Homo-oligomer: A and B are copies of this chain.
């Protein structure tokens, strides 16, 4: 009961709320049947910048003259509520253009139905595309997706992680920045009870669920294909050595060499920082160091594409002199000439898988078992590695 005294009979225990008038609470004294509003002016102008008042379930309740709890139940089709009240509540709700307040719902239910996604860079087609997969699965389940990009900075990754957690996301899907070597920011929230899924660039030491690309097999297939074209000295342009992805792709490369009895040469392995400059620098280096190379396998399509341009500018013929292959099937690879041989990653499906794994863990509850999924890909052979049959 509101702490309001009736200005007529001055009694407090007879006063009832009775709707809103011009944004102010209107009261009714049961004892003397006297309608009034509170007189004290709350400064309304100060909140002019803020959102104008939305209609709430309280408004609906007051309008009809029933309790808020009834309104709440009626709106969500609770079986206890009679058909009649349900109808009238919904009618009034529509009339007043009622929009439920998600914030209040989240606070009360202790869940936001929001999942946070952290990716290194949204401008990379791979991430943009997989986001679509995530969003589709999420929105089908009635979940929203918040996206943030670390721009490959460990610091922003950490900041974003905290931001998501203070915003009570119901789950975190993360692909670490290439700088990231410490995982304290993840460990901190491991016991928060929400599912944390790593994808692509994962962390080995953490016992979380993971979704991985088919890195080993992909690199294996690409290398095998290059060997099949007659290449024997295949340079590998990789990324930072500490990244698991790089290790895996190196592993696939190595596996293919072994299987085909091609001798291993340390000189052929280059570690870039995945930036274009660094990649081209490595290429130039290898052209000097080991000029007899007959193929370049770059761990990223974007790199491979720039390598093609670079080699063409140098007058090196592709694929006659040097075959080039990438990884990831970026759309550009289809446009460039010669077309880039690459490994297609099914980005959309990858995103879907990540989201699905999240929901699986959500259903299993706090005691889910972390597991790893791998999304298969397929080799795409284009001209950059298709040597004319002798």
Contacts and interface: CB of A to CB of B under 8 A. Distances in A.
A162 B101 CA distance: 11
B135 A129 contact: no
Interface residues of A, number: 57
B122 A166 contact: no
A165 B167 CA distance: 17
Given A50-B193, A107-B107, A163 B146 contact: no
A261 interface: no
A194 B51 contact: yes
A228 interface: no
A49 B49 CA distance: 38
Given A99-B166, A107-B103, A107-B107, A366 B49 contact: yes
Q: Which residue among A111, A122, A191, A309 has the maximum number of chain B CB atoms within 10 Å of its CB? A: A122
Interface stretch (A13-21, A67-75, A328-336): A328-336
A182 interface: no
A132 interface: yes
A51 B99 contact: no
Given A103-B168, A168-B51, A132 B123 contact: yes
B131 A48 contact: no
Give the interface SS of chain A, mostly helix, strand, loop or mixed. Answer: mixed
A43 interface: no
Given A128-B123, A146-B146, A168-B102, A51 B192 contact: yes
Interface string A150-173: 010000000000110111101000
Contact of A335 (B112, B122, B145, B305): B305
A148 interface: yes
A151 B132 CA distance: 9
A136 B351 CA distance: 25
A146 to B, nearest CB: 6
13 contacts: A51-B111, A52-B191, A52-B193, A99-B165, A102-B168, A122-B128, A123-B128, A135-B149, A144-B163, A144-B167, A146-B146, A332-B335, A335-B336
Interface of A: 47-52, 54, 97, 99-104, 106-107, 109-112, 122-123, 125, 128-129, 131-132, 135, 144-149, 151, 162-163, 165-168, 170, 188, 191-194, 305, 309, 331-332, 335-337, 362, 365-366
